[in-house]
Amino acid sequence: MHGRILIINPNSSRSCTDGIAEAVAPFAAPGLPRFDVTRLTDGPPAIVTWRDWFSVAEPLCREVEREEADAYVIGCVSDPGLEAVRTVTDRPVLGMFRCAVTAAMARAERFGIIGFTQKSLPRQRRALQSLGVEDRMAAWIPLDLPMEVLTDPVAPQGRIAAAARELKERGAEVVILGCAGMAGHVAVAAEASGLPVIEPCQAAAAAALLAVLGARIPSVAI
């Protein structure tokens, strides 16, 4: 078999889970590991508070213990439970936020983030601290839109375009979409800002491919 990458969405939203699957679809190809996307059916509708963030760690650990995979991705752009999940498996475990930030850093020196709501900042800030790159964030701009508006094909375009433009004015050289719910709006942010745009589901897909395929390189020693 070619391997399996399991993306676990810690919230229970089916539409959000579908959006993740759609975002990573371009990375699926014959002979490469396949991407499966699942969700915590008993999880919160979204990870909106610190309490939500802590609450999904244990269910994520159990899901990983239950489900065999070659690599796991925590499918929320605040990396809930990452440290715990890494202790229950020997396989690589990735967080979408860390994957997005590091992917952005490979493209430019200063990144900007479009946040879901003001409430999301402290959790993303904590992850930036763990990466040691808090001071490379040029700006963080929340949309504060309801999830259903955010995932609408058209409704949030103006707000996303405006945020992307403002991030550029404030020194961002690359834009990170700070929530999986914005996955459909990569083009809008890119056109508005003229900057590269990093979509976290895709950044995690690329990182997971590296984690799985990297181990496959034929050792010249054999």
d(CA 215, CA 91): 11
Supply the minimum distance, in Å, between the C-beta of residue 157 and a second copy.
6
Considering only residues 82 to 111 of the shown chain, the ones binding a second copy according to CB under 8 A are 83-84, 86-88, 92, 94-95, 98-99, 102-103, 105-107, 109
Cα separations in angstroms, 62 against 34, 57, 69, 82: 21, 9, 13, 13
Phi, psi of 29 (to 5 degrees): -160, 155
Supply the minimum distance, in Å, between the C-beta of residue 79 and a second copy.
10
Considering only residues 107 to 146 of the shown chain, the ones binding a second copy according to CB under 8 A are 107, 109, 122, 125-126, 129-133, 135-136
Q: Pick from 1, 31, 41, 42: which binds a second copy (CB under 8 A)?
A: 31
215 binds a second copy (CB under 8 A): yes
Q: Contact at 8 Å (CB) between 33 and 3? A: yes
Report the residue number, 14 or 125, with the smaller CB distance to a second copy.
Answer: 125
15 binds a second copy (CB under 8 A): no
181 binds a second copy (CB under 8 A): no
Supply the minimum distance, in Å, between the C-beta of residue 69 and a second copy.
16
Supply the minimum distance, in Å, between the C-beta of residue 212 and a second copy.
9
1 binds a second copy (CB under 8 A): no
Comparing CA positions, the residue from 95, 98, 126, 92 lying closest to residue 111 is 98
Supply the minimum distance, in Å, between the C-beta of residue 86 and a second copy.
8
203 binds a second copy (CB under 8 A): yes
Report the residue number, 38 or 59, with the smaller CB distance to a second copy.
Answer: 59
Contact letters for a second copy, residues 47-76 (x by CB under 8 A):
--xxx-xxx-xx--x---------------
